[in-house]
Structure 1
Amino acid sequence: MAEENAVASGKYRRVVLKLSGESFAHAGERGIAMDEVVAIGQQICKAAQGGVQIAIVIGGGNILRGAQFTAGNSSIQEATAHYMGMLATVINGLALQDAIESLGVETRLLTAIRMEGVAEPYIRRRAKRHLEKGRIVILAAGTGSPFVTTDTAAAQRALELDADILMKATRVDGVYSDDPEKNPHALLYSELSYNAVREQNLRVMDPTAIAQCMEHDMPILVFNYKKEGNIERATGGARVGTLISSQVAVAK
């Protein structure tokens, strides 16, 4: 399939990049730090200059997580809390859109919940058309449904948009055998199979996202976006981080 050929050649035509909400804030803090957002935007713009089409799925954990309202005796229903989280991703999407456009690159913000005064509604064919025109597409509000994480939204969008690969940007160098902050002897994997991720219960993405990618053979790259130039390297096909795919027989 096309994705396999792209991964083998190291050249990507189209990627979906998953950014967590935490990437919009300083480490250990909440809210939006525009210096962090602009730094990410600069990397994305450089990557786009290489010719790769980029769609970005945004998280909202820097503003709020639905889980914080579902613990204890909260008066907010769980579904409502998830919708609040979706709106947080839109706030992040607006910040990233302005940061990227301030650098002279055209974007489109598409949301899974209609809010025409703020952004375009997510329509698969429209999103693909924007990508073909060289625009950076920012996808917010998850899938528009509660009880679905933004990881799963990223997997779904990667499949819908015929991406070559799903890339998850993190603050660590890839997938480790254990938490590297707690275990200094944790091993960094360069390659993993989907089955290894599931069997070892490695914290990469939520299980539904992994299962979706596994079923449809969508490769996943987990890498450290905090290293300057890594987004450009990753989208350009350089070997950074941990590659998860069906082509890996054993963990490496």
Structure 2
Amino acid sequence: MKVTKFSGEIVNFDKDKLIHSLRKSGANEVAVFQVIHEIERELYEGIPTKKIYKLAFQLLKKFSNVHAARYNLRTAIQSLGPAGFFFEKFIAKVFECEGYQTQTNLILEGKCVSHEVDVLLKKENCVSMVECKFHGSQDAKTDVKVPMYILSRFNDLKDRDFQLFKNNYSIQNCWITTNNRFTDDAVKFANCSKLSLLSWDYPKGNSLKNKIDLNQIYPVTCLTTLTMAEKDKLLVQDIITALDLIQHADWLSKIELSPSRIKNVLLEANQLCNLIK
């Protein structure tokens, strides 16, 4: 059976890959079997993978909102757009889980020109800059021109003293993050230029996807019990993650959710963060 990917490429339907993604959501074998069984009944030659994904999400939601939320992670991160401003804040939250201090959206004066820096990280007196490349489409890749351009910005900023994190520091390292993937040439150039990369699936074993699952730091856009309009209202109030929502639950009443819906949203958020089973 052939399927059509987001990019338009025609490939074979990969049942094992779908099973793996369902298991990664936390779904048990009964749920996985039933979802796969229902999807196989709906398959036809050339079916878009987007349609398969949407069907799997809907079927999984019947078993568990939390499993559906985890399965929906990549789309949820894409919902932090369209400009990527909230994606930058989310990336800062991810690094904070690993013990970094962070600052976002700064203007720094380089040797030649001024630069807007998406995120700054500090750990053990080492400061790094993070440039975030957000894509609104899942088939878009970050190509080699991006690390080439960011390297020139890093070179203009490094070795200069800035008032950062209440002290004087220079920027010593540079990260590039994206919600999608890097091309092979982008990875080669970045590695050769000593730039650190973080994408949906890179580096293997320590990718953005891995970090999110390991630290249980899910974006609020994952939650299936909220509408997109409600999620947007929360993002504007700096409620970026499910944990932020748990810590500032009063915002749910401020955006006019009923008591019963507030209860359901908080239950899903707590389960998603593994605070309750």
- TM-score scaled by structure 2? 0.27
Bigger proportion of residues as helix:
2
- TM-score scaled by structure 1? 0.29
Higher relative contact order (CA 8 A, sep 6+): 1
Which one has the largest radius of gyration? 2
